[in-house]
Amino acid sequence: MRLSYALLAAGSFQAVQCAPSSSHNSGSDNLTIKTNLFTVRGAIFPNTTDVRFFGGIPYAEPPVGDLRFRPPATAKPRNETLNATWFGPSCIQYSNGQHTVYSEYLTGFLLKPGQVQSEDCLTLNIWAPKGSKEGDALPVMIWLHGGGHTSGGAASPYKYGHRIVRDQNVILVALNYRLNIFGYPKAAALDGHNLNPGLLDQRKAVEWVYQNIHAFGGAADKMILFGQSAGAFSVDMYTYAYPSDPLVRGFIAQSGMADSSTRTFDPFGSNFTYVASQVVCNSSVADEVFSCMQSAPASSLITVYNKYNATLNNNAPLSFTPTPDNETVFANYTDRQARGLFAHLPMLISQTNDEGSSLLPFDPAGPAGGQAAIDQFTRSFSTCPSARGALARKSWNVPVWRVRYFGEWPNLNPFEWLGAYHSSDIPMVFGTSDLRGPDTQMERETSRYYQAAWAAFVRDPEKGLVEYGWSMYDPIGETLVKLGNGSVGAVFTLGDVFDDGCGYG
């Protein structure tokens, strides 16, 4: 089942460059930072006094023209000081116009409404404590956003990093990566290689952070990669793509594992060819089609995808999501788990209790099939892949923890039937649960406990959670961590209590 996230985010597809700043500060306010490639001028994040923000920092060259559909090109040095006081444009979004709980009731979970979109979007954003400086060697959290690999971005109010940075004394980096047809083109001309530029963008951003985060007070040897939904799929896929050179020292996957992601098997590139035919890029030669598609207006390509009607096309799906190329994505993760072909680094695997409630077709009365349908979706989408991933780590003596979130709060649940829906744990981690109304006291304290747990892992991926009171995962021990389950702290239960029917591969 392809995740379909609708987003009511208008905005043009114009390219917006980082503008030169007219203010060249000596650095006494710690807002002008010289990286290895250029100097950036940031700002104190709005409504804070103690968190700096540096936004729209290019980690790669704009993926336009000959670079469209290709792996990201390393960012070039620039002589001017870049204005990094706010987010740059988000990557071009897919939206088929379907109503979802996110588009109708939870706006801002994917992007802030009205966020500008552009093909020139390969930028990252850094939140850092006001006083942090080179040499402080703070832990670094690199965030990969969700959105089904078709939409979403770093400019989401629920995922702003200022509160966790302030409270936990870490540095947080959130990045954009190419989406939909721009990130996962599956063109025949690619000949089976580099089929997932969006995933390669993520790696390029991690490399940039590794090389430059010291200038913001971070430590390259204290980085972890974490994400939710498509971002979690990406985190886990990253562990298989870079088993011996991950650059980070730990992983957190919230609501997604490599073998639960939507992968498109389109060996002949027919989806790409269909879009090409609609923008008059017709040729029997794959390279000519590819070249033409690199020159077509970006708005034309996404319009074809947005307006595609399967009913009018013999019910043939049109999809652009990660596809196996045996480089960044693999066809058989069960085999790779058995052989230990993943980065043997600590991992925290988390999910919500009712993933399916907000992902099944939306109806204000609740999804067809009720709670049984929600539970079935949750099991196949998250619970069983999480079990397989956790067991694979345990079998190879890799430290692994497993979390299940049950929180339901008045200011985050527009419908009671949503329960602990997909994405509802994000505000707990980022401390942003009060965006739609005031928190309850327990909600606020639960978020603090959540943040502290994530930060404990970040500071010491091997032992931090053990010192926090959590045992490493064991399916037959009381090691499954239940959060938001009637108490502020953790409740522990048997590791495999929710795994009936999973089969474990």
SS3 assignment, position 442: helix
Whole-angstrom Cα distance, residue 134 to residue 338?
42
Could you say which of 350, 357, 422, 447 is catalytic? 422
Q: Which residues pair with 117 in a beta bridge?
A: 90
- 437, two tokens: 């109304």
How, if at all, do strands 81-83 and 347-352 pair? Answer: unpaired
SS3 assignment, position 423: coil
Contact 207, 220 (CB under 8 A): no
In 343-442, DSSP assigns E strands to 347-352, 400-405
SS3 assignment, position 82: strand
Which amino acid, 299?
A: S
Whole-angstrom Cα distance, residue 393 to residue 347?
8
Element (H, E) at 54: strand 51-58
- 46, two tokens: 């709005």
Q: Is 448 exposed, middle or buried (0-12, 13-18, 19+ CB in 10 A)?
A: middle
Is 422 labeled as catalytic in the residue annotation? yes
Whole-angstrom Cα distance, residue 197 to residue 201?
6
Is 229 labeled as catalytic in the residue annotation? yes
Whole-angstrom Cα distance, residue 12 to residue 320?
21
Is 214 labeled as catalytic in the residue annotation? no
Q: List strands edge to edge, sheet with 81-83.
A: 32-34, 39-41, 81-83
Q: Is 376 exposed, middle or buried (0-12, 13-18, 19+ CB in 10 A)?
A: middle
Contact 81, 41 (CB under 8 A): yes
Residue 129 is classified by DSSP as: E
Could you say which of 229, 234, 255, 358 is catalytic? 229
Say how many C-beta atoms besides its own lie within 10 A of residue 133's C-beta: 15
Q: Is 227 exposed, middle or buried (0-12, 13-18, 19+ CB in 10 A)?
A: buried
Catalytic residues: 229, 355, 422
